[in-house]
Amino acid sequence: MTTPSLLILPGDGIGPEVMAEVRKVIDWFGAKRDLTFDVSEDLVGGCAYDKHGTPLHDDTMAKAQEVDAVLLGAVGGPQYDSLDFSVKPERGLLRLRKEMDLFANLRPAQCFDALADFSSLKKDVVAGLDIMIVRELTSGIYFGEPRGIIEEGNERVGINTQRYTESEIDRVARNAFELAMKRNKKLCSMEKANVMESGVLWREVVTEVGKDYPEVELSHMYADAGAMQLCRWPKQFDVIVTDNLFGDLLSDAAAMLTGSLGMLPSASLGAPMANGRPKAMYEPVHGSAPDIAGQGKANPIACVLSFAMALRYSFDQGAEATRLEKAIETVLADGYRTADLLGEEGKDPVSTSQMGDAIIAALDASL
């Protein structure tokens, strides 16, 4: 079997800091589990703009199309805020998602027992939480045309368009139903069919797809009510499927159920490639965190868990993914906390690299 290939794009801000810890984990699997990857690294986001004048060079895009999986850190930063929209760091990420056609973004929110006390919600609301948000990632208002800022009369108008085709809804819904079948067979679809035609179509198509999955209990919720229910009693959900923008908002909210945005991984999956593996990119849900970048404070767990998702979804290494997730559970149970997991008055946080080292030690202990 050929060595699987992995393109690493650390990006900006804390991206390279958390990715350095993932590199330790990748090296560990090579040395201790005979699981080696052909790893290459490249630029995306602001750092790519600084070097090439574009947030994603065509060569990098081509590489991303060829590898078995892409692992991305984070992009963006205040120094790029005034750039023209077409070259903003975030455009690099959006181009990767669109051109690789990564339509299904899996954002699991799991509350580790050791962090149940730390959540801003009551312990019994979040303890044992394990939900999966499936966010449509390549369409909707993020990409719909027309868009832009135009002159109208004596003022400017900002325009974005929410747009979904039946086939775009169908494929992401199927993905969510398949996941639900492997989990607790419950799927909640969220849109705003009460005010948006795209939401009406979304509900119709999801209902239709549901006929192929009679074992899955399907429900529908308006996305605003869904946000409320996520905070009120999140354990009522198993899998949630929703559009690009609602999924962005709902997954950040879900992150706080788990204690910190620094905990949430994601997998963005497309259609299967010739080798049967899905086109895939893995990235933490959080951004480049300019407020803590360069200080060794970032929590690397979201990025490490994203690599665990790569092991599971791209490389058929479910048992090794579980080993890595268990190592993180151990480290948290042993009391290792980066600053984001301690709160305002938190004392003695560990640094990003100390957290990475603790994960490696727990992996060693798992052998």
Annotated binding site for substrate: 97, 107, 135, 224
Per annotation, catalytic residue among 42, 68, 164, 192? 192
Interaction of residue 248 with Mn ion, rule CB under 5 A = yes
Residues of this chain, 93-112, that bind ligand NAD according to CB under 6 A: 93
Contact segment (CB under 6 A) with ligand IPM among 87-95, 222-230, 300-308, 332-340 equals 87-95
CB 4 within 8 A of CB 314: yes
Instruction: State the amino acid at position 221 in one-letter form.
Output: M
Interaction of residue 42 with Mn ion, rule CB under 5 A = no
Interaction of residue 136 with Mn ion, rule CB under 5 A = no
Residues of this chain, 238-267, that bind ligand IPM according to CB under 6 A: 248
Residue 124 annotated as catalytic: no
Q: Which residues are annotated as a binding site for NAD(+)?
A: 77-90, 287-299
| Closest CB to ligand IPM among residues 107, 297 | 107
Neighbours of 323 (CB within 10 A): 18
Q: Which parts of the chain are beta strand (E)?
A: 5-11, 38-41, 69-74, 104-110, 130-136, 144-152, 155-161, 186-191, 217-222, 239-242, 267-272, 278-282
Residue 142 annotated as catalytic: yes
CB 148 within 8 A of CB 256: no
Sign of CA dihedral 318, 319, 321, 326: positive
Residues of this chain, 244-303, that bind ligand NAD according to CB under 6 A: 261-262, 283, 286-292, 298-299, 302
* Residue of 48, 56, 64, 93 interacting with ligand IPM (CB under 6 A): 93
User: From the CB of 90, what's the least distance to Mn ion, in Å?
Assistant: 10
Per annotation, catalytic residue among 224, 235, 326, 357? 224
Instruction: State the amino acid at position 215 in one-letter form.
Output: E
| Closest CB to ligand NAD among residues 50, 217 | 50
Residue 192 annotated as catalytic: yes
Residue 252 annotated as catalytic: yes
279-285-289-293 Cα dihedral, nearest 10 degrees: -60
CB 283 within 8 A of CB 73: yes
- CB-neighbour burial class of residue 287 (10 A; exposed 0-12, middle 13-18, buried 19+): buried
Q: What are phi and psi of 240, to 5 degrees?
A: -120, 135
Which of 123, 243, 108, 246 minimizes the C-alpha distance to 172? 243
Residues of this chain, 75-94, that bind ligand NAD according to CB under 6 A: 75-77, 90, 93
User: From the CB of 57, what's the least distance to ligand NAD, in Å?
Assistant: 17
Residue 94 partner contact from Mn ion, ligand NAD, ligand IPM, none using kind-dependent CB cut-offs of 5 to 8 Å: ligand IPM
3-state secondary structure 76-95: CCHHHCCCCHHHCHHHHHHH
The binding track of 94-113 with respect to ligand IPM, each residue x by CB under 6 A or -, is x-------------------
The binding track of 276-295 with respect to ligand IPM, each residue x by CB under 6 A or -, is ---------x-x--------
Task: Report d(CA 347, CA 331) in Å as an integer.
Answer: 17
Active-site amino acid positions:
142, 192, 224, 248, 252
Q: Which residues bind ligand NAD (CB under 6 A)?
A: 14, 18, 74-77, 90, 93, 261-262, 283, 286-292, 298-299, 302, 340
